[in-house]
Structure 1
C-alpha cells in the first residue's frame, strides 16, 4: 500500500506566520507613508500655499539676484542647492544649511521677497519619505526595510500556497463571505485581498528594493552600466552621484547613482601645469550661467542645481522626471562652465530604463492621476491584508503565547520549499541569511518542545 502524500500545509502556514508577524507592521507603515508621499503634488500646494505660489510678474530676477537676497537673509548659511521655479506661478527655492539645520528657503522670483522657510528634514513629505526608506534611523532602518521587503516575498509565495483552492467553493476564495462574522470574515478578507493583490504587492516590493542600500546597490552595480567611453575623457573623483541623494530628498535618478562625479579645474587654464585645486569652492561662473546651460540643453523644468562645496566640485543639474524619458543629469565645471557630462534617457541601458519606469509607477507619477489612484488602491489592499492578518492572529492566539502554527516533526524534506528558500537566498542574500537563521531557530524550538513533551510523558 502506497504511503499518503505528506501535507506541507502547516509548514507553509508556519513560514507565512513568521513572515507576517515580522512584515505586517512594516507594510502598514510603508503603505501609510506611501499614501502621504503619493499625494505630494496635491498636498504641498495646499499646505504650503504661502511658500510655493506667487503672482506672475513681468520681469523675474536672475538666479544670482535671488541668491544675493537669500544670502542677505541668511548671512551665516551655506547654500547647497537651487531649484528654479517650475512655472510662472511658483516660487524659487534654495536649500540652506544654517545653525545645524537644513532649510528649504522660498523666494518670490519677481520681487525678491524671501517668503519663508521650511525644515528640509521635518516637513510632512520629508518625514514620510525618510520613514518609507529608512525608518528615520539611517542605515539600520534601510536594512530593516530591505529585510521586510524580502520577507514580503516569502509572505506572498506562502500565502498563495495557503490560498490555493482545495475543493472549497469560490466564496471565501475569490470574494469574501460578508454573511459570515468574526474570524471567518477576517480570514476571507485577508485571503481574498492577498490573492488579488499578490502580483501588485510583488511589483511594489521588488521595485522598491532597487532603492535599498545593500541589495539596491548590488543590483545597480550589476545591471546599471554606461559605456566606458562616456567617462574616459572626464576627470573623475572617488565620489559617486548617489551621495547627492538623501533619505528626505531625491536629486539624481536611480540610473545615475553609481556613476562617478567629475571634478572641476582639471583643464582650466588658470590652474596652470595641470595642478588640481584645493580648498573651498570658488566658482568662476555664475549660478545664472548654470541656469542658462540647463535652458540651452533643454532640461525639463523641475530640475535642481547642486552647488559645488569644494574646489574640485562641480555644479550638478539634475531632474528626476515623472516621465523618465525626460531624465537629465549634467555636471558642469565650476570654473569654465564646460559640461563635463550630460546623461539622458537614451544613454540608459535596458535594465536601467525598466527600473526607472517601474520606480515611477511605484511612486504613482508616470500616468498622472490614473497612476496615483491605482497605487492608492494597492496601498489600501496592503493595509487591509496586513490589518486583517494581524486580527486573525490576535483572535486565534493562545493566551500569553505567540500561537505559532503546530508542525509534525517527522515530515520529510519539502523539496519545493527548499528550492524556493535557496532561490531567495541567492537573489536576496540578506533575506536568505535571515531565512536560514529563522529556520535554525525554528528547528531548535521544535526539538526543545519535543524533549519537554517526552520528559513530561516519562
Structure 2
C-alpha cells in the first residue's frame, strides 16, 4: 500500500486529537470490562448461601414452592429456572434484563433462602458504569460516541502504522527498546494496537447493539428486512384451550426436563387462564442449540416450537458478537477478551506516556498539517459512510466542521 505523507500527517492529527479526548473513556471501558469478566468469580462465593441448600429428606412440590415465592417475592415471578442438582435452591425469576430479580426457595424446608435483586449487585453497577457511565441514556450516548470514534482510531491507527518503506520486525511487530523511552512507548502503543485491531473491532461490534442510536437503527433494519426473531418467538399470540384442570408446575417441569435442552433452562409461567407455558434455554456457548417451545397449560401438549434456524441472519450475527463481547463461548473466548482488554489498557497508557515525553512546554503537540493539503474524495466518502453507519460520529463531525469554520472565519476577520 502506497502511503501519502500529507494524508498520513492529516490522519495522524485527527488520530491524535480523537485519541487524547477518548483516552479517559477508553481506559474506563477497558478496566470495567476486565472487572466484569470476573462477575461469576466474584458473585459465586457471595451468593452461595442463597443458591445452595442442604439436602434433607424429600422436597416439597414445586407448586407449593411457587405459592411461597408468590407470597414473598418483591414482584410476582414469571418463570422458574430448572435445577441441575439436588443441593440447589429453587430459583423463581421476576422481570427481565435490568429489572430482573430472583427469589430462592429451599425445596426441603419451604423457607426463602434469599433474594437477589439485579440492580442492587456490585457487578450491575460495574456494568452500568461500563455501558452508560452511571448516567442513564445520556451516558449511553457518550459511550456510543466514543465507541464510534474507536472504530476511526483503529482505521487511522493502522494507516499510520503501515510502513512507508519495507517491513521490519522491530517497530512494527515488536517494540524497539534500544533507542529511547519515547520511541519505546510509541512502539508499544502502535504494536499492541496492531495485534488487537481485529479483535477490538469484533468486540465493538458486540457492544454496539446495546447502544441507543445505532442499536435502535439496527433493530429497525432487522424489522424491515425480517431478519430478527420471528414474530411468534415470544409466544404473545399463543393461547391455551381452557379446560377444567390445568397442568401442575411439577408436571410441566417433568416435560421440560424430558427435552434435555443444554444450558440454563427456564420455564415461563402462563399469563392468565388462556396463557401458555414456555420452555427456553440460554446457551451462549452454542447459540445454535437454543430453542423456545410453548405448551398448552391444560393439556401439556406443545403448541409451537422455535429453533435457532428460525432466527434471522442479522439477529444471529448480533447475538454471536454480543456473546463474543462478553466472553461467553468458553475459556478461549474469555481469555481472548481479557488479554485484549489488558492490551487496550497498556496501549492507552503507553500512548499517554509517549505524548508526555514528546510534548513541548506551552504546546499541545498537535501534528501540523501543510496548508496545501486537501482532503480527497475517497476520504470524504469514507467519512460519509461512517457517519451514516454511526450517526453520533456524523453529528460530532458536523460540530467539528462548524467549530473549524468559525475559527477560520474569526481568524480572517482579525487579520
The TM-score range, normalised by the shorter chain, is: 0.7 to 0.9
Residues 40-439 of structure 1: pairs in structure 2 closer than 5 A: 40-56=39-55, 59-74=58-73, 77-95=75-93, 103-167=101-165, 169-223=168-222, 256=229, 261-263=234-236, 268-269=241-242, 286-307=248-269, 316-321=278-283, 322-331=285-294, 341-366=304-329, 368-397=330-359, 403-439=365-401
SS at match of 1:7: helix
SS in 2 for 1:210: helix
Structure 2 match to 1:274: none
CA distance 1:293–1:429, change in 2 (3 Å): farther
Contact 1:226 1:347 in 2 (8 A): no
Query: Can you list the C-alpha shifts for 1:82-102, whole angstroms capped at 9, x where unaligned?
Result: 3232444433323458xxx96
Q: Could you list the per-position Cα deviations for residues 346-395 of structure 1 after superposition, in whole angstroms to 9, with x for gaps in the alignment? A: 222344334333332222222x2222111111111111112222333444
Q: 1:356 to 1:20 in 2, by over 3 A?
A: same
The alignment partner of 1:418 has SS state of helix
Question: Within 1, Cα distance between the matches of 2:135 and 2:231?
Answer: 23
Which TM-score applies when normalising by structure 1?
0.75
What's the Cα RMSD here? 3.7
CA distance in 2, matches of 1:145, 1:337: 46
Q: Which runs of no fewer than 5 residues in structure 1 stay unpaired?
A: 229-254, 271-282
C-alpha deviation, 1:396, in angstroms: 4.3
Matches of 1:420 and 1:380, distance apart in 2: 30
Q: Normalized per residue, which structure has more helix?
A: 2
Structure 1 position 160, deviation (Å): 0.8
Secondary structure in structure 2 of the residue aligned to 1:106: strand
| CA separation of 1:151 and 1:259: change in aligned 2, threshold 3 A | farther
| Runs of 5+ consecutive residues of structure 2 not aligned to the other structure | none
Rounded Cα–Cα distance in structure 2 between residues aligned with 1:257 and 1:187:
49
On the 8 A contact 2:226/2:312 being kept in 1, the answer is: no
CA change 1:222–1:341 in 2 (3 A) is farther
Contact 2:238–2:276 (CA<8 Å) still a contact in 1?
Answer: no
Give distance in 2, aligned partners of 1:329 and 1:362: 24
TM-score scaled by structure 2?
0.82
Equivalent position SS for 1:303: strand
Whether the 8 Å contact between 2:233 and 2:292 is mirrored in structure 1 is no
Partner of 1:209, secondary structure, is helix
| CA 1:360–1:102: 2 relative to 1, 3 Å | closer
* Contact preservation (8 Å) 1:147, 1:430: yes
Question: What is the SS of the residue equivalent to 1:117?
Answer: strand
Q: Is the 8 A contact 2:233 2:306 kept in 1?
A: no
